[in-house]
A = this chain, B = another copy of it.
Amino acid sequence: MAVVTLEELARRFGGQVRGDGSREIRGVATLADAGPHDAAFVANPQFHRYLATTRAAAVILGEEDVRHFSGNALIVDNPHLCFARVAALLHPEPPWEAGVHPSATVADGAQVAQTAWIGPHSVVEQGAVVEDGVFIGPGSFIDRGAVIGAGSRLVARVTVCRGCIVGKRCIIHPGAVIGSDGFGYARDGVRWVKVPQLGRAVLGDDVDIGSNTTIDRGALGDTLIADGVKLDNLIQIAHNVQIGEHTAMAAFVGVAGSVVIGKRCTFGGRAGIAGHLEIADDVHVTGTSLVSGSITKPGVYSSAISSEEAGSWRKNAARLRQLDALVRRVRELEHKVQMLIEGEKLD
C-alpha cells in the first residue's frame, strides 16, 4: 500500500501545506468517512458542515475554504483536480503482468507488444496491433487490422471491429462496441438493402468510452473521436460523426449520422443530436434536450421539461396541443380590444 506525507503531495502536485506536513496519508475518502490516514477534499461550500468533525489526516481545499477548517490542509487552486491526482497515486490500478493468457486466442499475424496483456478468452485477429502496455481484459475481441494504442486499457468484454483504431491511454469499459456497422440502408421498393459500411471508427488519445456504449464505423470515410473525448455509458455515436477534442457526453446521449461536434462541448444525459448538423466549439446542451438544427454560437442550449404532479401536468400537456389555436385566439382578442380602444377614442 502506498504511503505519502502531506509534504510529498504538495511537492508532487503543488499547493501549500498548512499544519503537519509529515502526516502520513494512505488513501482518500469523503470528509464523512475519512479515517486518520485518509485525505479528503472540499470543492463545494455545501460540504463545509463536515469540516468540523472530519477525522481526515488532511483536507485538500481552496484558499476560499481554508478559514472553515482548522486541521491539516493542502491549499490548492483546484481541489477536485488535486484530489483526483492524489487518489490516482494512492489507489493505482492493481498490478498485472504482461503476456497472453493461455485461454486467449491470438491469430498468427497479429502483433502484440511484449509489454501488453491479453486476458482470458480474448481474441486478437490477424493483422491487429496491440501496442506497448495495453491491457485487454477478458472476453474482448480485437478484429482484423484493428490497432490498440500504447497504454490503453480495455476493461473486459470490449469489441473493436475490423480495422478500427483506438489511440493511446484510452479506457474502454465492458460491453462497449467500437466500429460496428452504421445504420445505412437504401430503399428497394418496400425493402431495405444494406449499404456496406466501409469506413472505420478512429479514436484519438486519452479517449474514455463507457460501458455498453456503441460507436459505429463510417459508411464511407471514418467516424472520428478526437483526443481527450470522454463518453459515459450507453451512448450511441452513429456513422461518420466527428467529435472535437475534450468534448464530454453523459449517459444515453445519441448522436445521429454525420454530425460534426466542436471542441470542449458538454452534453447532459440523454441529449440527442439529429443527423448532419454542425455544433460549434464550447456548446453545452442540457440533459434530455434535442438538438435539431446546427448551433453556430457557444452557449447553453435546452429543451428539457421538468416533471410536475401528474394531474396538473396532464392538463398542461393537453393544452400544449391547443397552443397554436390559443395563439390565434389571443391575436383575435388583441384585434378586438384594439378596435374597442380605438372606438373609445373615436367617441
Contacts and interface: CB of A to CB of B under 8 A. Distances in A.
Interface of A: 28-30, 33, 78, 80-81, 83-85, 87-88, 91, 94, 101, 103, 105, 119-121, 123, 137-139, 141, 143-144, 155-157, 159, 161-162, 171, 173-175, 177, 180-181, 183, 185-188, 190-196, 198, 206, 208, 210-212, 214, 216, 220-221, 228, 230, 232-234, 236, 238, 245-246, 248, 250-252, 254, 256, 263-264, 269-270, 272, 274, 285-293, 299-324, 326-327, 329-330, 333-334, 336-337, 340-341, 343-344
Given A214-B251, A303-B305, 11 more contacts: A84-B196, A94-B144, A119-B123, A155-B180, A156-B161, A299-B309, A300-B309, A301-B310, A302-B317, A305-B305, A323-B323
Contacts of A327: 319, 322, 326
Contacts of A141: 137-139, 156-157, 174
A297 to B, nearest CB: 9
B315 A326 contact: no
Number of copies: 3
A301 B290 contact: no
A82 to B, nearest CB: 8
Contacts of A289: 307
Given A28-B220, A212-B175, A323-B320, A186 B291 contact: no
A166 to B, nearest CB: 15
Contacts of A144: 94
Contacts of A33: 220-221
A82 B182 CA distance: 18
Contact of A105 (B88, B103, B285): B103
A194 B212 contact: no
B183 A29 contact: no
Given A141-B174, A198-B91, A302-B314, A307 B285 contact: yes
A173 to B, nearest CB: 4
